Amino acid sequence: MPARPAQLRIVQSEVAPLPDGRWITRWTFGAPGGVTAEVLSLGARLEALHAPDRDGRRANLVLGAGRVAELLGPAAYFGATVGRCANRIAGGRLPLDGTVHRLATQDTGHTLHGGPDGFATRLWDGEPVRADDRVGVRLRLHSPDGDQGFPGALDAEVGYLLDAEGELTIDYRATADAPTVVNLTNHAYFNLAGEGSGSVLDHLLRVDAAGYLPVDPELIPLGPVAPVTGTPFDLRTPRLLGPAIADPHPQLALAGGGYDHAWVLDGTGGELRTAAVLEHPASGRRLECRTTEPGLQVYTGNLFDGSVTGRSGRPYRAHAGIALETQHHPDSPNRPDHPCYPSTVLRPGEEYRSTTVHRFGRSMS
């Protein structure tokens, strides 16, 4: 039976210092015995989410590092709010209003998730939030003009709110004082069997999309949308991840032996609709992801190599988790004339808004 709203709780605590002496804050909230979430101020990240299986046994379903050094290194994106512009911008090249801005890039020569010092590495300001039927935290970050090469100062906000029935709503807002681009997402890796329990290859995944974006060897979209029909990217009916990514399709090989691709979601961007459903038949857990975003980047942790040790004390190997990143499409700033790439431009006087809802419940399989 779901918890009553009056049973929802939130606890704030300081958990660890950063190298500069500032402390990371954690907010733990939800219904004791039901679904609870933990959010850190470092990267405005979803650090953990505990949910019961079909027999009421609770487990943490989100991958997370056990040490601050890992959160500042190989686990920087785990559960984090990534931006100012999620995913890849080819060559760090941002054309806007006749000017080409040069962004900070990673070793690949491209800008990934806002650059090497993007929002995932920042300490956000947060405050607890309690509504009639939900509880959580709202976090804010100021990104100055020129941050990682992006034009204009940006004020970003993300809220995590959890209700008594296990529905986690993530709301994003942003405003800017000059034309810029913004594309925020959450980068949590889920394993519905439990963090550190092994791979997600025994999970079922459904994605409501008739098209996806093939990529080049550097994982930059080639251009037009490709139909999923007849490919391992056809997830319109649930498929086991193991057999799906074992397909010899060359796109899977480019991504390191699995998915690291954007699906072009069915329906109308801006309207909240189902993007994906992830299920783990053995535990009976189910995650339904709904979003207002036009796309979904799915990454199956293909390159996990054991360099990150989770809170369970176990290292993460290939396919230890799956990321369902709701967002605008990769390299959107360089595709202004292509109809499948909605604009990521934000201008003064406008407000960026985006909502993603994760509902945790029982599997129907």
- C-beta atoms surrounding 177 within 10 Å: 13
Two tokens at 74? Answer: 């190989």
Residue with structure tokens 């986690």?
168
Contact 320, 200 (CB under 8 A): yes
Under DSSP, is residue 63 helix (H, G, I), strand (E, B) or coil?
Answer: coil
Q: Which of 110, 113, 325, 328 is catalytic?
A: 325
Half-sphere exposure of 36 (CA within 13 A, CB side): 18
Catalytic status, residue 110: no
- Measured distance CA(305)–CA(331) in Å, rounded: 27
Catalytic status, residue 325: yes
- Measured distance CA(15)–CA(23) in Å, rounded: 7
Backbone φ/ψ region at 56: left (φ over 0), alpha (ψ -120 to 50), beta: left
Contact 148, 114 (CB under 8 A): yes
Q: Which amino acid appears at position 350 of this protein?
A: E
Any idea what DSSP says for residue 103? P
- Measured distance CA(27)–CA(137) in Å, rounded: 7
- Measured distance CA(237)–CA(134) in Å, rounded: 32
Question: How much of the chain is in helix, strand and coil states, percent to nearest 5?
Answer: 10, 45, 50
**64, 320, 19: which is closest to 186 by C-alpha?**
64
- C-beta atoms surrounding 193 within 10 Å: 19
Q: Which of 50, 113, 187, 329 is catalytic?
A: 187
Residue 158 Cα to chain centre, angstroms: 12
Contact 232, 247 (CB under 8 A): yes
Write out the catalytic residue numbers. 187, 325
